[in-house]
Chains A and B, each alone.
Chain A
């Protein structure tokens, strides 16, 4: 009698366990996870150099001298970066050239057509390619880095020595700032 009861109880427990197993949900299917991504490609860094100096050469007291932006002595700035990317350029132009010792200054001036921007790979001011020709260096237009990844700015100007201008070498800085516009 006892054996019969124990077997019956065991059987009931097995059945109950079976129901428990059948009733437990598969929680792994109640949620899911996916990995997406965000991507971006940063363009080539913008680099500006000044490989060509605006060279007035020999100057005489009281005799102004001009250098056009399309002559060999024109100043040149080289801009490299992402081809065809839009850029904004700002040129800080001096009002004077000075001696090394600073004991004399000579006026320099830039006209409204003293700059040209060549968006080809050309680096010779005398053989302008394509771009923005004879523009105002005080207000350069928004332009682009050439398709080959370079653009050059050619710069002319005028010096106006006084009649008692001290003899010697005169220099001044011209600072070009360029930034991508995102276009």
Chain B
């Protein structure tokens, strides 16, 4: 080996080693990285519906129709609790008749297009409507109804109606079911 070649060889070796160090050393950390992100979700409060008061027509006479307004003390009351301010869809299954316990007679019942009110405050007294959707159609509730408002997690539905007894309506107690179904609509 010549005196000129050995230094050159050493230089080359150092260069290679340096290059290797660059490639294999700390500079290799910048070729990838790791970050930890997250996915979050908040499940809303459970939706609950209760029928707290029956629509009570009281005493009724043969041949004399009787109406109960949705703002009367005898109006039916449903309470809805859940996430305050959340949008809900409301469907009410209304009867066509009230019947005796034995089923031996039926009495017509009808519901007008203003026989329901939805109170989005915490009020449950039909005679003291707060705010919300007043005098709406119980066959077709508006799709903008919410469970109360932000911070108040309750709405109430007040229901009126009309019974139409026949002139030979059998005396006795009559009843019919009103079924309310409520679901979150995501709005």
Interface residues of A (CB under 8 A from B): 25, 29-46, 82, 85, 179-182
Quick one: which of B59, B66, B168, B179 contacts A34, CB cutoff 8 A? B179
| Contact B98 A82, beta carbon cutoff 8 Å | no
CA distance A69 to B175 in the complex (A): 45
| Contact A33 B180, beta carbon cutoff 8 Å | yes
Residue of A nearest to B53 (CB): A36
B15 at the interface (CB under 8 A from A): no
CA distance A43 to B176 in the complex (A): 18
CA distance A35 to B76 in the complex (A): 11
Interface residues of B (CB under 8 A from A): 43, 46-51, 53-64, 66, 76, 78, 95, 98, 107, 109, 159, 161, 163, 165, 168-184
B-chain residues with CB within 8 Å of residue A35 when the two chains form the complex = 51, 177-179
| Contact A39 B50, beta carbon cutoff 8 Å | no
| Contact B169 A29, beta carbon cutoff 8 Å | no
B-chain residues with CB within 8 Å of residue A181 when the two chains form the complex = 61, 64
Known: A38-B178, A39-B55. A44 touches B171 (CB 8 A): yes
Quick one: which of A33, A36, A44 contacts B76, CB cutoff 8 A? A36
Residue of A nearest to B65 (CB): A182
| Contact B57 A85, beta carbon cutoff 8 Å | no
CB distance from A31 to the nearest CB of B (A): 3
Known: A45-B171, A179-B63. A36 touches B179 (CB 8 A): yes
Excluding A34-B78, A36-B54, A40-B173, 15 further A-B contacts by CB distance (< 8 Å) are: A29-B47, A31-B183, A33-B180, A33-B182, A35-B179, A36-B177, A36-B180, A37-B175, A38-B161, A38-B178, A39-B55, A40-B165, A43-B60, A46-B62, A180-B64
CA distance A31 to B46 in the complex (A): 8
| Contact B43 A25, beta carbon cutoff 8 Å | yes
CA distance A22 to B76 in the complex (A): 40
CA distance A2 to B88 in the complex (A): 53
| Contact A37 B176, beta carbon cutoff 8 Å | yes
CB distance from B109 to the nearest CB of A (A): 6
Quick one: which of A32, A44, A85 contacts B182, CB cutoff 8 A? A32
CA distance A179 to B64 in the complex (A): 9
Q: List 22 A-B contacts (CB under 8 A).
A: A29-B46, A29-B47, A32-B181, A33-B49, A35-B177, A35-B178, A36-B178, A37-B51, A37-B176, A38-B175, A39-B98, A40-B56, A40-B58, A40-B60, A40-B107, A40-B173, A40-B175, A42-B107, A42-B169, A45-B169, A45-B170, A182-B64
CA distance A36 to B102 in the complex (A): 20
A-chain residues with CB within 8 Å of residue B64 when the two chains form the complex = 180-182
Residue of A nearest to B173 (CB): A41
| Contact B62 A42, beta carbon cutoff 8 Å | yes
| Contact A31 B182, beta carbon cutoff 8 Å | yes
Residue of A nearest to B100 (CB): A42
Quick one: which of A29, A31, A37, A41 contacts B60, CB cutoff 8 A? A41
CA distance A152 to B29 in the complex (A): 110
CB distance from A33 to the nearest CB of B (A): 5
CA distance A140 to B64 in the complex (A): 20
A-chain residues with CB within 8 Å of residue B58 when the two chains form the complex = 40-41
